[in-house]
Amino acid sequence: MLTKYGIDNIIILLFLSTVLIVSSAFISRAWVSSIFVSIGILLLFFTLWFFRDPERTIPESVLKDESLVIAPADGKIVQIIKVNESVYLKQNAVQISIFLSPLDVHVNRVPISGIVKYFKYNPGNYLIATHPKSSELNEQSHIGMENSSGKIFFKQIVGIVARRLVWDIRVGDTLKAGQRFGMMKFGSRMDVILPENSEIFVKENQSVIAGESIIAKMINQ
């Protein structure tokens, strides 16, 4: 299945792929024709691969326990640090950063069940997504959610190649853990920020799967 969040890109890329392949039939030089066909096929496979949107099995424990937090993005944990979060949580916190390579699924999923209490889009720079400062300086969206177990703050952050964030949620929405909510295109990063007393289940360099990997547990104070 292809994601609805990339329909505009998918149409353009499939059109370009078709043009390249069809054009090759009108090129007399075989080697040039082969290049056109090869690029067209590669572009086709890239489109189908990058914009894929596989189904995920949300853990039953997450659906029953609102304190459990699942990964909102596929990728690798590149950083787990203590921060002072002054935008939404407004307290000392722990930040879990997930880096998405161009090979990862880029559809994002909601990390907890709850209500969206805060949203803000921030235009910015385009540092490589693994750069520590990308969390502060890059183009990003900020999302704050709350449920009976507490608050969580997470950020969609684009990288050096990506220039577009997609989301379809707004303040006041009630969401379920694992529900699709948007996409970060062409290499990006997701920061998940939790109260500092939260129990963290992942380590740096660990790979996680959006909607399936349980990354933390919020502890009610």
Query: Is 42 part of a structural domain of the chain?
Result: yes
Total count of domains within the chain:
2
Query: Is 81 part of a structural domain of the chain?
Result: yes
**How many angstroms separate the CA atoms of 114 and 152, rounded?**
10
Query: Is 156 part of a structural domain of the chain?
Result: yes
140 in the same domain as 111: yes
90 in the same domain as 132: yes
184 in the same domain as 130: yes
Kindly report which listed range (20-24, 61-65, 90-94, 177-181) carries the lowest average pLDDT score. 20-24
Query: Is 19 part of a structural domain of the chain?
Result: yes
76 in the same domain as 10: no
Query: Is 68 part of a structural domain of the chain?
Result: yes
Query: Is 138 part of a structural domain of the chain?
Result: yes
38 in the same domain as 74: no
Respond yes or no: is residue 213 known to be catalytic: no
pTM: 0.87
69 in the same domain as 178: yes
pLDDT of residue 184: 87
102 in the same domain as 16: no
65 in the same domain as 43: no
Unique residue bearing structure tokens 């959610």: 145
Extended beta strands in 13-158, E state: 68-70, 75-85, 91-100, 107-109, 114-122, 140-147, 150-158
The answer on pLDDT for 131 being more than 60 is no
44 in the same domain as 142: no
Domain span holding position 16:
4-50
Kindly report which listed range (18-32, 129-143, 206-220) carries the lowest average pLDDT score. 129-143
Query: Is 55 part of a structural domain of the chain?
Result: no
pLDDT of residue 24: 87
For residue 135, which phi and psi values (nearest 5 degrees)?
-65, -25
Q: Which of 106, 98, 97 is nearest to 165 (CA)?
A: 106
Q: Active site residue: 97, 113, 134, 188, which one?
A: 188
173 in the same domain as 125: yes
Check which CATH number belongs to the domain holding 100 and give it.
2.70.70
**β-pairing verdict for 165-167 and 107-109:** unpaired
43 in the same domain as 96: no
200 in the same domain as 119: yes
